[in-house]
Structure 1
Amino acid sequence: MNLAKILITIVTIVWILHGIPFFLFSGIQTTYGCFIYNSSFLNYILYFYYPILSGILPIIISTLFGVLAYRNVRRIVRRQMPIRRRKFDQQLTAMILIRVVFLVIMISPYVLERIYAVAFKTNHSILYDAILILIDDIAYSFYHINYAGSFYLFLISSKRFRRQVKHAFIQKFWEIFCTRRIHQNQIVPIAQSCISEDDF
């Protein structure tokens, strides 16, 4: 547990330090939006940040773990394990591999577009700039669909995941909702003191 806290602290500090040059060496221009005016930092962005940190590194890490999961399932199939466990592992592997393919498809356009936009940011016509902004927005949307799409990919690719989602969203929600409504609408008798004949 202590190792995890130390690693999280180190990663947080590294990424905070990594973000400081973005504040120092970038500005806003009316025609092009954000731009980087330091040539050394621009080279870092062009040749390391977009291609490696935003593009190749997440793809390589996801692919590596996808291949390791696939090899693990292949090894489990060879062992004497219950069929149900094998099915679960195969579904998990299919989910991971579909996720990796989805990641590559969704991240690649954004990375390529950002490299192109930063490398060739010169004076062009208004129509060219508008088309570039449109392509940038579409690629940026794909980039974020990558993170939001995992739930839907898992829902499509795994029967077990669908059953669990159905159980979690329908049955559990229904139990909580019905239980609250019953408690809110209960009729509770009022305890009264003894009533004498004089009260009438």
Structure 2
Amino acid sequence: MANYVSYVYYPVLIGFLPMTITSLLSLLSYRNVRRRIPVVRRRLDQQLTGMVLIRVIIFVILTLPYTVLRIYTYVTKITPSSNLYAFAIQNLVSSILGTVVNLNYAVSFYVFCVAFRRFHRQVKHVLIKKCWRQCKLWCSSGKNQINPDVVMNTRPTDSDEIID
């Protein structure tokens, strides 16, 4: 099982096969869109393929170190009893790279917001114009109403007795 995990599962199934397939397909689609699409649709399709290409580059950058570390971990087989210092370093690096791999899912949103103005405008429109207004209306329902003050008549009337 250790040989399968270290030589097939992490290098091929988890690491290089998905990276190779996504990189190859995104490059082919990027090249295809740049060459064959009419001028009217070209701008939107170029933007979409640019987003896909950036997404694949981020995927490769964030996945490759974790894959290499997992292969190294199974090949070297460091245990706490053999070398405690090396085992601690390996666990620390593994935790950091595991976090980096999980960033793979969140970082695309922020990269798209920074890199593409149209995506940035859409996110701004949805978050500020729609969600923020709805939240503001929900939170302040009825709290900002102005009611007139009731003015009390302070002059004594004939039926009231004045006590000195």
TM-score, normalisation: structure 2: 0.77
Displacement after TM superposition at 1:75 (Å): 3.0
Q: CA RMSD in A?
A: 2.0
What is the correspondence of 1:7-18 to structure 2 with a 5 Å cutoff? none
What is the correspondence of 1:133-172 to structure 2 with a 5 Å cutoff? 133-172=91-130
Displacement after TM superposition at 1:181 (Å): 5.1
Which of 51, 66, 81 is the equivalent residue of 2:11? 51
What is the correspondence of 1:76-95 to structure 2 with a 5 Å cutoff? 76-77=36-37, 79=38, 81-82=39-40, 85-95=41-51
Q: Do the aligned residues in 2 keep the contact of 1:95 with 1:153 (CA within 8 Å)?
A: no
Displacement after TM superposition at 1:177 (Å): 2.4
Q: Do the aligned residues in 1 keep the contact of 2:113 with 2:120 (CA within 8 Å)?
A: yes
- What is aligned with 2:68? 112
Instruction: Give the Cα separation in 1 of the matches to 2:29 and 2:125.
Output: 27
Cα 1:181–1:113, aligned 2, differ >3 Å: closer, same or farther? closer
Which of 114, 118, 132 is the equivalent residue of 1:174? 132
What is the correspondence of 1:10-29 to structure 2 with a 5 Å cutoff? none
The structure with more helix, counted as a fraction of residues: 1
- Count of residues paired in the alignment: 142
Instruction: Give the Cα separation in 1 of the matches to 2:86 and 2:29.
Output: 44
Displacement after TM superposition at 1:171 (Å): 0.5
Between the two proteins, what is the percent identity of the paired residues? 42
Q: Which moved more, 1:157-166 or 1:63-72?
A: 63-72
Give the aligned residue type for 2:22: S
In the alignment, structure 1 segments of 5+ residues that lack a partner are 1-40, 188-200
Give the aligned residue type for 1:116: Y
- 3-state SS of the aligned residue for 1:147? coil
Is 1:103 the counterpart of 2:63? The answer is no
Give the aligned residue type for 1:118: Y
Q: Do the aligned residues in 1 keep the contact of 2:78 with 2:86 (CA within 8 Å)?
A: no
When Rg is computed on C-alpha atoms for both structures, the one with the higher figure is 2
Q: Do the aligned residues in 2 keep the contact of 1:55 with 1:111 (CA within 8 Å)?
A: yes
Is 1:185 the counterpart of 2:142? The answer is yes
- What is aligned with 1:75? 35
Instruction: Give the Cα separation in 2 of the matches to 1:133 and 1:174.
Output: 42
In the alignment, structure 2 segments of 5+ residues that lack a partner are 146-164
Give the aligned residue type for 1:185: G
